[in-house]
Amino acid sequence: MPIYNAPLADMKFILNDVFNAEQFWQANENLAHIDAATAEAILEEMAKFAQNVTLPINRTGDEEGATFSNGNVTTPAGFKEAFKQYAEGGWIGLGADEEWGGQAMPKMLTVLSDEMLFATNPSFMLYPLLSVGAGMALNSYASQEQKETYLPKMYTGEWSGTMCLTEPHAGTDLGIIKTKAEPNADGTYNITGTKIFITGGDHDLSENIIHLVLAKTPNAPAGSRGISLFIVPKFMVNADGSLGERNTAGPGSIEHKMGIKASATCVMNFDAAKGYLVGKENEGLAAMFVMMNYERLSMGIQGLGASEYAYQNAAQYATDRLQGRSASGVQSPAKPADSILVHGDVRRMLLNARANNEASRAFAVYVGQQLDITKFSTDPEAIKAANNRVALLTPIAKAYLTDTAFNAVIDSQMVFGGHGYIREWGMEQCVRDLRIAQIYEGTNGVQSQDLIGRKTIKCNGLFIAEYISEIRDFANGLDAELNFIKDATLDAATEIEAVTQYVIEAASENIEFPNSAAVDYLHAVGLLSFSYMFAKIANAAKAKDGEFYQNKLALAQYFVQRILPELELRITKVKAGSEVIMNFSEDYFTTQA
């Protein structure tokens, strides 16, 4: 049976030693209610929930799956009880404003609690995750009356939330959606259309579901400038807050998927369903981006959780599995063979995964800290800088963390050999469940285009220049004993600075270039980011005694010598240009030999 032990020591190290979280929180009057002891207690309680509640129903949930019958979705056995316990524990509102019943905990902390749930049961985690994202969009753009009506019950788990964007013909191009919103005399709208790939579009976990739906009003401008956002509840809400009649919105079917089978992915039909405008007409995409960007960071955390889960199981298997002998001589003479940990290639795969976990966790907390500054700081300049950093790093958090996590999960599965392909060990489910993280909330290719286009070329490299400046300031302050990571990080920063200038110039000469170079550019910036994180990790570990901290330094050495060299490859591919890709005719891809 698969195992999972929450990496609490690593999490506490990242918070307390790497980022000095308590000092950061206490210096901000809006975060002074949280200290290290409180944060650690929260993480310890989430660890118990993840290990004892969500992990046991992960495989059974995958085997049973969500089911659809007579217009209703039923979640697998145990999910309803787990959701009730999760909601009653106040976990849905952990990071929400106290005004709506939340606990106002910082993002630096909630990314770590989210990691544990994603590690043990990604299908389960997606249900409350969508509620939190919908709540954030409403809190930013809804009217006071709408907030009072919906947010408290969404954060208690009595009601859930969804995000209804994609349509069968539209995909990522939301500007061509066909869902219509016809205004009524009473100020409401009739919403008509079909949405696909709607996570948690229907289920039996809460008594009501609040759909956030993108649609177009009559005479709306063409393209994305004509999109509006609407609240469409599953059950109408009466003036006193009680539930009324069923709205004409519901699932037509659920998708039969490769993974996350316990998460209901619905085709949603809206047949003149009653809807309520959020914010202003034609400004719905800005509101929805609040939710989308939250979900994108969450997908990166999904990757981290899966990579940690896979690593733990692979490391345990490698310790127990006896096969072959060490090249340097017998290591376990009393046993018929040595453990496969004596083999360098097995260690390579495990260290790849472990390095990914350490850097990804630090990076997630770092992005969380930037989000906390944007939300809680009272310094306009700090808020502006943090907003720029979040804009730059969101596509990296989504795409790089899920790409590297998928590689780590594949490496971990390979450690098992043939057993990794067998269901009972849990690795094949982990691979299937994680694959979607690279696809939904905008494929990783789309995230790469966002980074190279909107976040780099459009601002003439301003965001990346600010980031590189911060990295250099930190690296230049490192002690001589950390020259191995200092020099590597500074060299990487110089390489990224140069290739960014190359990208900006090449894009001005060839409109096809950015799209062709985008993924490699994102991975290059991701490698710099991981080097920055390992510099922070090494700096925090060097002053500490004990094997735990020495291993942090050793892993940083591994990253510099065995992973960071990929940067040169990525830059070479960026500079290869677009011609070798775009010169093939369209007929080439369909012509048979």
CA pair distance 400, 392, nearest whole angstrom: 13
Relative to beta strand 72-74, strand 159-164 is unpaired
| Residue 292, pLDDT score | 78
Task: For residue 172, name the pLDDT band (cuts at 50, 70, 90).
Answer: confident
List the catalytic residue out of 281, 358, 428, 441.
Answer: 441
Greater pLDDT, 324 or 19: 19
Residues 350-381: pLDDT tens digits? 999 999 999 999 999 999 999 999 999 999 99
Handedness of CA 102, 300, 312, 484 (dihedral sign): negative
For the cut 80, the answer to whether the pLDDT of residue 173 exceeds it is: no
Indicate whether 535 belongs to any domain: yes
Measure the CA dihedral 288/294/297/299, to 10°.
-80
Domain that holds residue 525: 443-582
What's the token pair of residue 8? 């609490």
Residues 4-37: pLDDT tens digits? 999 999 999 999 999 999 999 999 999 999 999 9
Average pLDDT value for the chain: 95
Residues 403-462: pLDDT tens digits? 999 999 999 999 999 999 999 999 999 999 999 999 998 899 999 999 999 999 999 999
Residues 29-54: pLDDT tens digits? 999 999 999 999 999 999 999 999 99
Angle, in degrees to the nearest 10, between helices 36-49 and 107-120: 20
Going from the C-alpha of 457 to that of each of 46, 319, 386, 464, the distances in angstroms are: 41, 48, 19, 10
Q: Quote the percentage of the chain above a pLDDT of 90.
A: 90
Indicate whether 486 belongs to any domain: yes
Residues 543-567: pLDDT tens digits? 899 999 999 999 999 999 999 999 9
Task: For residue 293, name the pLDDT band (cuts at 50, 70, 90).
Answer: confident
Residues 279-289: pLDDT tens digits? 999 998 888 77
Indicate whether 459 belongs to any domain: yes
Indicate whether 548 belongs to any domain: yes
Q: Average pLDDT, stretch 312-329?
A: 93
Q: Is residue 115 among the annotated active site residues? A: no
For the cut 70, the answer to whether the pLDDT of residue 219 exceeds it is: yes
Indicate whether 464 belongs to any domain: yes
For the cut 80, the answer to whether the pLDDT of residue 268 exceeds it is: yes
Bridge-partner residues for 163, per DSSP? 212
Indicate whether 519 belongs to any domain: yes
Indicate whether 300 belongs to any domain: no
Query: Which range, of 80-84, 177-181, 220-224, averages the lowest pLDDT?
Result: 220-224
What's the token pair of residue 523? 């991975």
Indicate whether 418 belongs to any domain: no
> At 228, is the secondary structure helix, strand, or coil?
strand
User: How many independent structural domains does the chain possess?
Assistant: 1
Residues 135-164: pLDDT tens digits? 999 999 999 999 999 999 999 999 999 999
CA pair distance 331, 325, nearest whole angstrom: 7
